[in-house]
Structure 1
Amino acid sequence: MDLPKNLAKMGLALHLAAANGHVEILNELLKVGCDLCTIEGREKRIPLHYAAIKGRVHVMKILLSACPESVENQTVRGETALLLAVKNNQFEGFTLLVAHLKQFQKESVLNKQDNQGNTILHLASSRKQYEVFNQVLGEDSVTKAVVEVNSLNKVSMTALDVLLLFHSEAGDLEIESILQQAGGKRANDMHSSVTSQSQENHQHGQVPESNIPMEQSEVPTTHYRSRIDQLADYFTYKKGRDRASDVRTALLTIAVLIATATYQSGFSPPGGVWQDDKNDTPKQVAGKSVMDTKNSASFFLFMFGNTIGFYTSLYMIYFLTNGFPLQLELRCSMLAMIITYVSSMGTIAPS
């Protein structure tokens, strides 16, 4: 009997049972051994990761009881079960994991970062999750002294920076208050305070920290950038973070919006079209563009730009839907759009 192959199959079955909440199957599989809890599947996920994503609290309890160390496992993106629970808004599962970390004295997992340098506080800030902050940094929280509130992610932002990036809702003030009471700062303020301390030491004749060997210096060396740079980095596509399917969906949505806007403009140019003929004005012909009568150069630029946008968006749709079902029907509908567009522009444009 090929034991490793059988274990792999049972591991896959455990993944499916954990994701779908099949407790009976889960208990039967765990009779084989607790090692199944750490068998990695797609993107190095273990059963606990799937349970955390889906919020299967009863499954998480069984898995954590069978293998307490699995709470430290990370996916290929550096995500722990705790980070996945926050990403997927599974607060009940998050609460269970925090209690487990405290029970087994593994509070350091609270400060683990994913591949983008984000901690649970960065993720909770971007999602405005008051419950997470209250759980780990609230007045009655037992983990308050352990959590690092000023960790910098890969784009040099603290949790407070992420929160204030889109500071718009009234609930943000409560989260900001919790962060600040716990010692949370903006990265710029941290940089300023370190600079001021260095200048003060220099005035008192102390050795500047720039002359201290790197291993002895506690000064953050991260280059600080402007808010515009932070916004650009925050929204920049990153291959390891953003899924190709999500990117394709976003591009398809944008292409469809552009195609819709340019198609509609082809039928209704600026100024509309003449409603009737006028014998004493040769250019005033029913169905022709009013804009061309007033300014031919502007109308040409409008036609040129609108047509480029329309055809480019259709090309994007054609490319991004390659391999989709009902290909023939989709291509026929796109060809019909092109025919009606060309017909409309030919009618509106001057002879």
Structure 2
Amino acid sequence: MERKLYDAAVQGNKLLLINLLEEDAVLLDRFITGCYPETPLHVASMLGHLDFVNEVLARKPELAKEVDSRNSSPLHLATGKGYLGIAKSLLQVNPDMCLVCDIDGRNPIHIAAMKGHLGLLRELVDARPWAARLLMEQGETILHACVRCNQLEALKLLVDRVSDHEFVNRQNHDGNNILHLAIASKQTEVINFLISRTTINVNCANEDGFAALDLLSQNQRNLEEKEVAESLQRMGATHAKDKPLSDSQLKAIRTKILSFTCGQSNAMSSKSKKRRNKDADRVEKKHNTLMLVASLLATMAFQAGVNPPTGLGKDNSPTGSSATKPNPTERFYLLGLDTYNTFLKSNTIGFLTSLSIILLLVSGLPLHRRFFTWVLTVFLWIAISAMSLAYLSSIFAFVAQHEDSAKGIGVGISVLAWIGLMLLLLLGHTIRLATKLIRCRLHIPGSA
């Protein structure tokens, strides 16, 4: 049934409307209580079907205040199309719809002025004159809208009927009054009208500090514009730079400078804080890595200390009898006193150094500086080197037990390669640390 009613509104078929309402008396009520993107009255008002609109308003005048999905009333749509008769019918039912703004912040009077529908504009202003004084987006008045749309006649009508000195000189959010807009868009007739027929402030400065004469000087290209400039000067217009600043303007300038300075300072502070946070996260990740590696090394050293290498369980006695078989520790000890001592010392150093790293990290001391992180890293190198030496001592013992010279040469090369790598890393990091310390001492940029 609603679909048929929409079709009737599109066609403007008043007879079909009457027949549908005879079949369903509450059909129009459902458009008030329900949720529809638009009502049949919207459709008929937009298409200019006056008889259909009058029939709907006679039966259900409440529909005149319903709005569509863009918050537009039937009066908005009729005004936009310039349908004077429909607008009059809607105004008779509910003149307060002149005050309702659509999704773009415009009421029917704004639309009539922007479209240049003078007859409609008179009817709407007569119905609700204070609706013309409602502000639009960006703090603009209906006079700003007339200038933007180059509607001089609508501007004249509104100046005569609803404006006063304050309304004519009202500035938008950019500080521009209607004279600024007229000069910027080179509307000579509008400029001459404002100068001769209104109390426009010719020396008003916008947010950029430009008065009307400043804008005209920038755009002055032909004789007609020069005549406008002369007219402005006769009205007492001056350049903004020639006009002394008031106390309020000076205060505003100081406020802007202060806010800009504070903004710059806050931006720098924010960058510094982000950099510090990033450094702290990097140090924290490195500390977690140190803790993990040190724990693994300590576990390895503990296991090797309580269970020394056994030479693969090889029996070192001449007879191999159980009566003369030494225990595992003795077996490793018998392979060489020096080798056993080296293993014991290296394993102990690795174990204690790893425990020292763990103890320092869990102690709660402020170890977040890069120097202390470097110190902990050096400790870790010592622990790794000590555990490596303990491992190599065990391998030497095994090689010595089997008297395998080829294996001994291979182990020796491995030891030399490892020592060379550790020395190279130690030298590189030492040079890096020394360079940073020198830069910090000499205050050279890039030391951070």
> 1:73 & 1:122 partners in 2: Cα distance?
20
Tell me: CA distance 1:75–1:188, structure 2 relative to 1, closer, same or farther (3 Å).
same
Aligned residues: 193
**Letter in structure 2 aligned against 1:162:** L
Query: 1:221 and 1:171, CA in 2 relative to 1: closer, same or farther beyond 3 A?
Result: farther
2:243 aligned with 1:185, yes or no? Answer: no
Q: Any idea what the Cα deviations from partners look like across 1:180-200, whole Å, max 9, x if unmatched?
A: 111111111114xx5xxxxxx
Q: Which digits, 9 at most, give the CA deviation of each residue in 1:137-168, with x for residues without a partner?
A: 22xx3x3xx32221121211111111112221
**1:82 equivalent in structure 2:** 143
Q: Is 1:22 matched with 2:83?
A: yes
Question: 2:160 aligned with 1:99, yes or no?
Answer: yes
Structure 1 residue 221: deviation in Å? 4.8
1:12-42 superposed Cα distances (whole Å, 9 cap, x missing partner): 2111111211101100111122210010102
Judge conservation of contact 1:37–1:67 (CA < 8 Å) in 2: yes
- Per the alignment, residue 210 of structure 2 pairs with 157
Please, what TM-score do these two structures have when normalized by structure 1? 0.51
Instruction: Say whether the 8 Å CA contact 2:179–2:191 is kept in structure 1.
Output: yes
The one-letter code sitting in structure 2 at the alignment partner of 1:32 is V
2:109 equivalent among 44, 48, 52: 48
1: CA distance, partners of 2:200 / 2:209: 18
Contact 1:113 1:119 in 2 (8 A): yes
Give the corresponding residue for 1:110.
168
Cα gap change, 1:113 to 1:8, in 2 (>3 Å): farther
Counterpart among 157, 170, 173 of residue 226 in structure 2: 173
**Amino acid aligned to 2:109:** L
Once residues 106 and 248 of structure 2 are traced to their aligned partners in structure 1, the CA distance between those partners, rounded to angstroms, is 35
Separation of aligned partners in 2, 1:183 and 1:8: 50
Give structure 1 regions of 4+ aligned residues with deviation exceeding 3 angstroms: 1-6, 217-224
The whole-number CA distance in structure 2 between the counterparts of 1:181 and 1:221 is 31
In percent, how many aligned pairs have the same letter? 31
Alignment RMSD (CA, Å): 2.4
Stretches of structure 1 lacking an aligned partner (at least 5 in a row): 195-208, 210-216, 225-351
CA contact (8 A) 2:64 2:90 kept: no
2:189 maps to a residue whose letter is E
Equivalent residue, structure 1, for 2:53: none
Kept in 2, the 8 Å contact 1:125–1:163? The answer is yes
Quote the Cα distance in structure 1 between the aligned partners of 2:162 and 2:192: 17
The CA deviation at 1:100 is: 0.9
Q: Residue deviations 1:301-350, cap 9 Å, x none?
A: xxxxxxxxxxxxxxxxxxxxxxxxxxxxxxxxxxxxxxxxxxxxxxxxxx
Q: Which runs of 5+ in 2 are unaligned?
A: 1-28, 34-61, 255-448
Instruction: Give the Cα–Cα distance (whole angstroms) in 2 for the partners of residues 221 and 172 of structure 1.
Output: 35
Q: How does 1:286-301 map to 2 (within 5 A)?
A: none
Aligned equivalents of 2:251, 2:213: Cα separation in 1:
19
Q: Give the number of the structure whose residues are more often helix, by fraction.
A: 2
Q: Is structure 2 residue 182 aligned with structure 1 residue 129?
A: no
Structure-2 residue corresponding to 1:73: 134
Q: How far 1:91 sits from its partner (Å)? A: 0.7
What secondary structure sits across from 1:148 in the alignment?
A: coil
> Secondary structure of 1:42's match?
coil
Return the TM-score normalized by structure 2. Answer: 0.40
Counterpart contact for 2:204–2:212, Cα < 8 Å: yes
